Amino acid sequence: MHQPNSFGLFYTKLFSLKNLLRKEILKWRGLQIDKGTKLGNISCDWPNKLMIGAACDIQDGVDFRIWHPYDPESYIKIGNRVFIGHACEFVCNTKITIGDDCLIASRTTFVDVGHGIDPSSKMNLQDTVAEEIKIEEDVWIGSSCVIIKGVTIGKGSVVAAGSLVNKSIPPYQIWGGVPAKFIKNRE
């Protein structure tokens, strides 16, 4: 196996410096982030509404959207030792919390808001309904899942890849499918 050439080493150092600079700018804009967290190239218009715990790994392409940045009750909070894979999306109208020691695979979407469907009114004129999403500690969510408003995923649970979670999951259970259904208890 060959050693990296001098250009490769230079590029790696330059990339590390760029990531450090991006992280410092987000902190200056209000991001609360604890020590030891690796922060990839994320998107976040309101970093003052994002709290990230210690020793997390947030990969490139993660999008944090806060729809009500002036509401003190609207925020995204991520616990300690959490992994969030690339291209995940957090759409936060109220509150999204992720507990400690969770694994969230790539391309997973969290949306804490829904829309009215009354046929007597135009869709774009109907009210939205927002409810908190809560992921308790030690949860594993597979790739390309969708987690919608009002859902709590209990401690130690697993959600299979590609699932749509539209109701709460009790602790230590494995769920999967569209919509997600109980598969078995985690033993």
User: What's residue 12's pLDDT?
Assistant: 60
Q: Is 106 helix (H, G, I), strand (E, B) or coil?
A: coil
The predicted structure's pLDDT at residue 63: 97
- Give pLDDT tens digits along the chain (187 positions): 667 777 666 656 656 677 778 888 888 888 999 999 999 999 999 999 999 999 999 999 999 999 988 888 999 999 999 999 999 999 999 999 999 999 999 999 999 999 888 899 898 888 888 999 999 999 999 999 999 999 999 999 999 999 999 999 999 999 999 999 999 999 8
Structure token pair of residue 131:
């409810």
Task: Dig out the tokens for 132 from the structure.
Answer: 């908190």
CA 52 to CA 39: how far, in whole Å? 10
Report pLDDT for 19. Answer: 72
96 class by beta-carbon count within 10 Å (0-12 exposed, 13-18 middle, 19+ buried): buried
Residue 170: cis peptide before it, omega within 30 degrees of 0: no
Whether the pTM exceeds 0.95: the reply is no
**Annotation says 115 is catalytic:** yes
Query: 164 with 145: CB under 8 angstroms?
Result: yes
Q: What is the pLDDT of residue 126?
A: 87
Give 179's contacts (C-beta < 8 A, 6+ positions apart): 163, 164, 165, 166, 167
Residue 9 pLDDT: 63
Structure confidence by residue, pLDDT tens digits, 97-121: 999 999 999 999 999 999 888 899 8
Active-site residue identified among 2, 68, 86, 115: 115
Q: What is the pLDDT of residue 42?
A: 93
Res 66: pLDDT: 93
- Span 6-185 CATH architecture: 3 Solenoid (2.160)
Confidence (pLDDT) at 28: 87
Q: Which amino acid is at 133?
A: I
